[in-house]
Chain A
Amino acid sequence: MSDSHEVISAFLDDEPFDSNALAQALSEPSGRELLIDLLALRHLVRTEGKEASALTAPTSWRSSLRALVAVAALVVALVGGYLVGERRRESVMSAAPSATRVVQAPAAWKDVPSGRMP
């Protein structure tokens, strides 16, 4: 590939280029093929870059997950505590009164005035 095709690289990179030279380069089928191939190459290289970046993601992903788990645990604890409290309150309100023993006074029962023993 001739150096005249360098202008295609400059065009791809948004660098200053000679528009006449670019027109000349793209007037040839080889120049047009090169342009498309270089775009495809760019996609190949950058796509992998994204995947490589994903390699660093576990750190932030894990910390986010940790925070999420902590929040979830807090919510579960709060809701659980509330439900347990509610259940206890209901059981206290609906429970039967504690058993009492009624003792009948015997027939011979006499009230004795206080302070005087028989």
Chain B
Amino acid sequence: MTVDPAALFAAHQHRLFKYFCRAVGPDTARDLTQDVFLRVSRATIPVAADEEVRAWLFHIARNLALDHHRARLRRPEPSPLAEEGSRLATQDVDLAVNEALAALPDLDRDVFLMREVVGLGYDEIGRACGLTPDAVRSRIHRARLQLRERLASPIAMRRTIPMRHSGRHT
């Protein structure tokens, strides 16, 4: 039994793109999403349950995001986020969210994004990042507490708007 790389990619490209948007920014997200496809097309796709394959896919995605961050550290570029400073941070909630995410440790940011943006379960995130589900839960919670602190003002504003609880991401 073989898995068609194109079908696999088509099924997950939207989630991958959303993950990369938050992890590395929308400018690079499309390129890295394509890079995942390239790697998948060259790799032997594990014949396993959907959750396992998804975890494998996001393991690749996470490695690409880490490579991107490392390359950027070696070759520092003026970061638009840092340049724009607090002026936009107060005006643009999205920018504030991205800044807060960028301030998290890599692993904490990844587990948080895989849960909150991609909608993976703790088991899947654990497989993708080499962590136990308990460790995933702790890291997600820690990331949330840090983000809560950094985004206190946007959160306070958001609390004034009606919300709904949606545990599983669609």
Residues of A within 8 A of B (CB): 1, 3, 5-6, 8-10, 12-15, 34, 36-46, 48-49, 51-53, 55-56
Residues of B within 8 A of A (CB): 14, 17-18, 21-22, 26, 29-30, 93-94, 97-98, 115-117, 121-122, 133, 137-138, 140-141, 144-145, 147-148, 151, 154-156, 158-159, 161, 163, 165-169
Point out the residues of chain A lying under 8 angstroms from B168, CB to CB.
Answer: 14
**Interchain CB contact under 8 A, B154 and A44:** yes
Closest to B158 in A: A40
**Interchain CB contact under 8 A, B163 and A48:** no
Give complex CA distance A110, B22 in Å.
108
Instruction: Choose among A34, A43, A52 the residue that contacts B26 (Cβ–Cβ < 8 A).
Output: A52
**Interchain CB contact under 8 A, B167 and A41:** no
Point out the residues of chain A lying under 8 angstroms from B93, CB to CB.
Answer: 44, 48
Point out the residues of chain B lying under 8 angstroms from A55, CB to CB.
Answer: 21, 26, 29
Point out the residues of chain A lying under 8 angstroms from B29, CB to CB.
Answer: 52, 55
Point out the residues of chain B lying under 8 angstroms from A37, CB to CB.
Answer: 148, 155, 159
| Chain A contact surface mostly | helix
**Interchain CB contact under 8 A, A10 and B137:** yes
**Interchain CB contact under 8 A, B94 and A48:** yes
Point out the residues of chain B lying under 8 angstroms from A9, CB to CB.
Answer: 137, 140-141, 144
Point out the residues of chain A lying under 8 angstroms from B166, CB to CB.
Answer: 42
**Interchain CB contact under 8 A, B17 and A56:** yes
Point out the residues of chain A lying under 8 angstroms from B156, CB to CB.
Answer: 40
**Interchain CB contact under 8 A, A42 and B94:** no
**Interchain CB contact under 8 A, A6 and B21:** no
Point out the residues of chain A lying under 8 angstroms from B97, CB to CB.
Answer: 44-45, 48
**Interchain CB contact under 8 A, B159 and A36:** yes
Known: A13-B167, A36-B159, A37-B159. A49 touches B117 (CB 8 A): yes
Least CB distance from A56 to B in Å reads 6
**Interchain CB contact under 8 A, B148 and A49:** no
Known: A3-B138, A6-B137, A55-B26. A45 touches B117 (CB 8 A): yes
**Interchain CB contact under 8 A, A13 and B122:** yes
Point out the residues of chain B lying under 8 angstroms from A10, CB to CB.
Answer: 137
Give complex CA distance A55, B29 in Å.
10
